[in-house]
Amino acid sequence: MNLTWLSSNLSWILELTLAHLWLTLIPTVVGLALALPLGWWAHQVPRLYGLIVGTSGLFYTIPSLAFFVLLPGVIGTRILDPINVVIALTIYTLALMVRVVADGLAAVPRETVEAAEAMGYRAFQRFTRVQLPVAVPVILAGLRVAVVSNISIVTMAAIIGVQQLGSLFTQGYSLGLMTPILTGIILCLLIAVVLDLLILGLSRTLTPWRPAAVRSGKGVLA
Amino acid sequence: MSGLIEFFADPGNWSGSTGIPVRIGYHLLYSLIALGLALVIAVPLGIYVGHTGRGEAVVAGMANALRALPTLGLLIVVVMLAAPLFSSSLVFTAPAILVLVLLAIPSILTGTYTGIQTADRSAVDAATGLGYTPMQVLTRVQLPCALPLMISGVRGAMLQIVSTATVAAYVSLNGLGRYIIDGRANNDFGQMAAGAALVAVVALVLELAFLLAGRLTISPGLRRSERRVKVPASAAPAT
Amino acid sequence: MIVFDQVSKTYPDGTVAVDNLSLEAPQGEITVLVGPSGCGKTTSMRMINRLIDPTSGSITMDGEDTSGIDKVELRRRIGYVIQNAGLFPHRTVLDNVGALPRLLGTKKSQARERAMELLELVGLHESLANRYPWQLSGGQQQRVGVARALATDPPFLLMDEPFSAVDPIVRAQLQQEFLRLQERIGKTIVLVTHDIDEALILGDQIAVLRQGGHLAQVASPEVLLRDPADAFVANFVGRSRGYRSLGFTGADEHTPILQTASAVLGDAAQTLRFRPDGWLVALDAQRRPIGWAHRDEVGAALQDSAINHAGSTASLGAPLRDFLDAALSSPNGDGIVTDAEGALLGVVTTDDVVAAIRRAKGAAAAARAAS
């Protein structure tokens, strides 16, 4: 490790880390927020399931670098605007989470939902008070996959000049220096572990009713 | 958008060593080499893990760790470390392909071993009881039943490879990614968009090819259960 | 014949699954292994085709020690049917049945032809031949499983809870069909079930096992009901043993079948002749009994609405249990008796059935005393 490089670039590295966090978190949160109603819809109307899951699957097919470059042409943003990265990642997250939400809701025991219906819960109340809480473990397990993938995908944007931890890779490559690259990789992995554990902890907090043995599942990265 | 159309309209971009057909050819060639190598490694290993149940935790852990590892960083590290080991003509190609193989393995491996593990246990028991040898049980019952998940794993691997091969243009791998990298260097947004569009089309065409291959090779007897068998998260498509 | 000679199975953790089992499964008969869960019945059966190897003791098939036969060779001589059928999900019904013959080198056309015959044998319509397993009901899948096990015409058949996964009505139907099938094919069969009623219906011989793999009793169904070896067997065989044991003895020739008043549905009221107690047997056009009708209920003509359907019927030659049930369920104490085609023969009184049961018991006791 080249400590001189490291110490002289500390504030830049911090800047990149913060940018990386925003570029990862905003799409993850927005993607999840959009996936909840869409996933519920796909679950309620079985005929839509194939359409919604299939269409979102097609978005997943498009390689991320190509997606970053193509978006401006479709939505009229500037080609190097970070907003392209945010939108592309939001779509990826949405594509992954729609299916997870629909499948998670489908896994809620039918008797539980019927009991709520028989007790007089309205459709929206059933969703927010019964189905969603019970589906939390499945949904958050999916979100852990999404967030960890997003952290890695964001780095690709360095190629088109969007500043985040990936910029350390391009910087290191052009300088022929290993230190920035390794620093970038380590920080990416660190963020991944921290966010993964945060969601895991959230999942356990939201589901105190699950048996401890089930809740003590390992992190995605463990 | 006008730059994009201009690029495709220029006959010069359709011929020569930097022309579209040649670049598509390279992109597919490297992708297929990587996929082939990944298959040779991952399928037997997946059969072993699925059959014996050994090493499952290691494989699952590896798949998850690789997902978090940024591919661009990995590519650059491997190229910088390995480049001195190869002769001049392979100096960028071989390390890049190595990374493509590495990234493709988890998806195929996971698809194969979960496919074998989720093959109908009572069918396996019945086959054994009727006098199938362990090899016959594997080739005639387990593998055909594992095919839907295997193909889905290979499909994920293929997309991962095509995507990473695009990025690998940054470390000088030939292929469609070159248009994006070179376009960026020259501020030629038309060329960038054209390269991106071509990559997206290649990825979608390959996706459709796999859907078709699935239709042709997966027994209709298994098709209904496709949606019920949840593809494990670690086999999720990569980008 | 399959012979267990002092066979034990102990797992490395010390669990004894089967403890010193000696048992014979006679040629051409159905031997049922029955017992509560954990009694080692499935383990015992799976040791026959060596899906599990015994820890000690030997199993012989027609005198040949199975431990000396190659596992795969051995299994190909023994048909195997399991719960939920275990069909190959990626093969059609026809190719499931023909799978093993194909594996052994039979030509595809021949294998399919034979598979078609087998489907007919197990009562499946040929239109199902090209379906996949998921397109079949549970009962149909189970029939395919039986056909597949018979594909190479093995002399032995092992069946592990073959009818447990289907609903009671289909199960009863499959059991009866299976007995008719066995009359034609005469295989040496070992069948495992947890259901004592199924064992009593299917078994020529029943082996009752208890927890820890001990053999509690081997006997015919009749003896098992009449003379359980100990409290465990008695308890396992269950309640109404006395009543169920009547299922194995017919009414003797001294049981009187009496004439009775009868009429066909739709007959006008003025033509009807009732018995002194006011009842008559209502018949359909083929003179098969529908039920009893009472004078007070009949209007201008004999209508279905006037008929009491409570009474069951017994056909001549049926076991005493059917006669007793017919008498007990009748609104007037007389059981309706029919001929083999189901047409009315007459009635039998409750007192006469009880007398017949008493005579049968006496005869059985005398036979035991003599032997």
| Domain limits for position C52 | 2-248
- Domain membership of residue C371 (yes or no) is no
DSSP category for residue C27? T
Look at residues B144, B122, B124, B120 and name the one whose alpha carbon lies nearest to residue B132.
B124
Query: For chain A, which residues make up each domain, given as ranges?
Result: 3-207
Residue C255 maps to a domain: no
The contacts of residue C302 (CB under 8 Å, 6+ apart) are C263, C264, C265, C266, C267, C269, C272, C282, C293
For residue B219, give Cα distances in angstroms to A25, B136, B155, C91, C131.
Answer: 42, 18, 18, 7, 12
3-class DSSP state of B134: helix
pLDDT tens digit sequence for C41-95: 999 999 999 999 999 999 999 999 999 999 999 999 999 999 888 999 989 999 9
**Mutant choice from C87, C88, C91, C146 vs B, greatest count of B C-beta within 10 A:** C88
Q: Which domains does chain B have, with CATH numbers?
A: 2-235 (1.10.3720.10)
pLDDT tens figures, B7-30: 888 888 888 888 999 999 999 999
Q: Is the pLDDT of residue B236 over 60?
A: no
A184–B contact, CB cutoff 8 A:
yes
Same structural domain for residues C36 and C163? yes
Could you report the per-residue pLDDT of C33-53, keeping only the tens digit for each? 999 988 999 999 999 999 999
C163 and C310 co-located in one domain: no
Residue C138 burial by CB count (10 A; 0-12/13-18/19+): exposed, middle or buried?
Answer: middle
Q: Please say which residue of C248, C273, C301 terminates a domain.
A: C248
Q: Per-residue pLDDT for A214 more than 70?
A: no
Same domain, C286 and C241: no
- Chain C positions in Cβ-Cβ contact with residue B140 (cut-off 8 Å): 88, 99, 103
Q: DSSP string covering C179-246, please?
A: HHHHHHH--EEEEEES-HHHHHHH-SEEEEEETTTEEEEEE-HHHHHHS-SSHHHHHHH-S-HHHHHG
Q: Residue C87: inside a domain, yes or no?
A: yes
Indicate the angle between helix axes A10-44 and A132-154, nearest 10 degrees. 140
Q: Is residue C284 part of a domain?
A: yes
Question: Which of C72, C84, C99 comes nearest B122 by C-beta?
Answer: C84
Domain of C15, CATH number, reads 3.40.50.300
| pLDDT, average across residues B80-106 | 85
The helix or strand, by DSSP H or E, that contains position A23, with its residue range, turns out to be helix A10-44
Same domain, C277 and C150: no
Check whether C227 has a pLDDT greater than 60: yes
Residue C23 dihedral angles phi and psi, to the nearest 5°:
-160, 145
- C172 found inside a domain: yes
What pLDDT is recorded for position C245? Answer: 84
Are C215 and C303 in a shared domain?
Answer: no
Enumerate the β-bridge partners of residue C189: C30, C157
* CA angle C180–C207–C51, rounded 5-degree value: 85
Nearest to C183 by CA among C126, C121, C115: C121
pLDDT in tens, B135-174: 999 999 999 999 999 999 999 999 999 999 999 999 888 9
Whether C368 is in a domain gets the answer no
Is the domain of C277 the same as that of C232?
Answer: no
Query: Does C87 contact B126 at a Cβ distance shorter than 8 Å?
Result: yes
Same domain, C231 and C274: no
ipTM: 0.85
CATH of the domain at C333: 3.10.580.10
Report pLDDT for B232. 41
Task: For residues C229 and C281, state if they share a domain.
Answer: no
Q: Are residues C242 and C274 in the same domain?
A: no
Chain A touches chain C, with at least 3 Cβ pairs below 8 Å, answer no
- The class of domain A3-207 in CATH terms is mainly alpha
Partner-chain residue, chosen from C90, C100, C134, that has the shortest CB–CB distance to B131:
C100
Domain boundary residue, one of C187, C219, C248: C248
Beta bridge partners of residue C109, listed in sequence order: none
Number of C-beta neighbours around residue A183 at 10 A: 25
**What count of Cα atoms within 13 Å lies in the side-chain half-sphere of residue C114?**
21
For residues A185 and A165, give the distance between their C-alpha atoms in angstroms, rounded to a whole number: 8
Give domain status of residue C43, yes or no. Answer: yes
Per-residue confidence (pLDDT) for residue B55, from 0 to 100: 82
Same domain (yes/no): C242, C272? no
Based on the fold, state whether residues C92 and C159 are members of the same structural domain: yes
C134: chain B residues, CB-CB within 8 Å: 221, 224-225
Residue C20, domain member (yes or no): yes
Q: Which two tokens stand for residue C321?
A: 């249990």
**C201 & C242 share domain:** yes
What are the residue ranges of helices labelled H in C214-370? 221-226, 231-237, 241-245, 320-329, 350-370
| Nearest to C322, CA basis, from C344, C267, C330 | C330
Contacts of B8 in chain A (CB under 8 A): none
Q: How far is CA B80 from CA A38, B67, C221, in A?
A: 44, 21, 81
As a whole-number percent, the residues of chain B with pLDDT over 90 amount to 54
- Is B182 an interface residue toward C (CB < 8 Å)? no
C280 in Cβ contact with C330 (< 8 Å): no
- The phi-psi region of residue A95 (left if phi > 0; otherwise alpha if psi is between -120 and 50; otherwise beta) is alpha
What number of other Cβ atoms are within 10 A of residue C365's Cβ? 10
**Count of structural domains, chain C:** 2
B44 Cβ contact partners less than 8 Å away, ≥ 6 residues apart: none
Interchain proximity B127–C87, CB inside 8 Å:
no
